[in-house]
Structure 1
Amino acid sequence: MANVFLFLRAEPLIGTIYVFLCVVHAVLLPEPAYSGPQKITYFNGTELNDEIQRNKRITWLVQFYTTWSPECKHIAPVFAQLSERFALPNLRFAKLDVGRWPKEAERFRINTHPASRQLPTMSLFKDGKEVMRRPTIQNKRAIPFVFTQVRIIFECF
């Protein structure tokens, strides 16, 4: 934003061209999404809660994410690699887009505000109940958690 302000102040025509080129770049060349191998189930709406309660013998590691969050985009390859490495019949990996399903975000107590530090959130469900969540919440604030493959393995498995 500082560049836009400086360009517009120094030379309005160059500033306008710069803004136009930035918009064209963002529209035509968006940040690439992960498209590699994965063993992840994507849920819509209440499907996740229904599935967790339906078969309590299955342990679920669930990533709650949004499509607009850079942190969620950066963790996608790590979560996919973990799913490829550790998925079993009784350990499954899932994702729920809480940006599209805000009522589910409320159900799982996840703040989806753009300034929220709760995105992405990973929860481990065992016997139909949440037994672990990262980042954790204390005094209504999210405790920062750096999602790396090693930390997720250490915390969840």
Structure 2
Amino acid sequence: MSIQLAIWYTIFCIVLMVTVRTPSFEESSEMKYFVDNTLPEQLKNDKHSIWVVEFYTTFSPHCNAVKPIFGALSREYTHDYMKFGKCDVLKSHGVPESYDISSSCLRTELPAIIVFEGGVPAARIKQTNNGKQYLMSYENLKRDLQLQEFYEKALEKSKNMKSAESNKKTENKKKK
């Protein structure tokens, strides 16, 4: 009887694997993934943009729970001057620590999200800060990271750049 039970159990598992898929959550198509030392280089070279970066690790259940929330925020707020990225702490040695984020598995700071403005941190949220757990919900992240305010700054930058470009075009036409 145990052989028959094992066969039925195997068939059942195969049917489940074929029919039931793990849900995947789309992130913004503009999401940039940082490894090694690419995040500091990007922030240094792109000081005009506001960057919202999630520091994560693949094996953390907290990080996996925040993935769809961060993806939804990135889809809502991605702009020419407001960009979203993710930094895997296991593939970016020393980078998280330079922004005061521990990548130790003994501490539960991950996920951590930092908003960079002008290449420097302007707002940050960690999963655990001073022993207190933070509930990373869509509304909490939007409010506590001040994403709407940063988005409005990005829109203002875009408007200023467009008006500067149109001024240059009119000046060039006058010179001709």
TM range (shorter): 0.7 to 0.9
Over aligned residues, Cα RMSD in angstroms? 2.6
Determine the structure 1 residue equivalent to 2:24: 34
Give 2:41's aligned amino acid: D
1:8-157 matches, within 5 Å, as: 32=22, 34-38=24-28, 39-135=30-126, 141-156=130-145, 157=147
Identity of aligned residues (%): 22
Long gaps (5+) in structure 1: 1-27
Classify 1:129/1:66 alpha carbon distance in 2 versus 1 (closer, same or farther; 3 Å).
same
1:32 deviation in Å? Answer: 4.2
Classify 1:67/1:56 alpha carbon distance in 2 versus 1 (closer, same or farther; 3 Å).
same
Classify 1:113/1:136 alpha carbon distance in 2 versus 1 (closer, same or farther; 3 Å).
closer
Classify the secondary structure of the residue corresponding to 1:102: coil
Q: Is the 8 A contact 1:135 1:142 kept in 2?
A: no
Q: Is the 8 A contact 1:121 1:135 kept in 2?
A: yes
Deviates more, 1:60-69 or 1:114-123: 114-123
Q: Is the 8 A contact 2:108 2:128 kept in 1?
A: no
Q: Is the 8 A contact 1:33 1:73 kept in 2?
A: no
Greater radius of gyration (CA): 2
Deviations 1:3-57 (A, max 9, x none): xxxxxxxxxxxxxxxxxxxxxxxxx8xx947342423111111111111111211
The TM-score, its normalising length taken from structure 2, stands at: 0.65
Classify the secondary structure of the residue corresponding to 2:94: helix
Give 1:145's aligned amino acid: Y
Q: Is the 8 A contact 1:40 1:83 kept in 2?
A: yes
2-structure distance, mates of 1:145, 1:112:
17
Classify 1:49/1:101 alpha carbon distance in 2 versus 1 (closer, same or farther; 3 Å).
same
Long gaps (5+) in structure 2: 1-16, 148-176
Classify the secondary structure of the residue corresponding to 1:134: strand
Give 1:146's aligned amino acid: L
Deviations 1:64-93 (A, max 9, x none): 000110000010011011111110011100
Q: Is the 8 A contact 1:59 1:125 kept in 2?
A: yes
Give 1:126's aligned amino acid: E
Determine the structure 1 residue equivalent to 2:155: none
1-structure distance, mates of 2:73, 2:105:
27
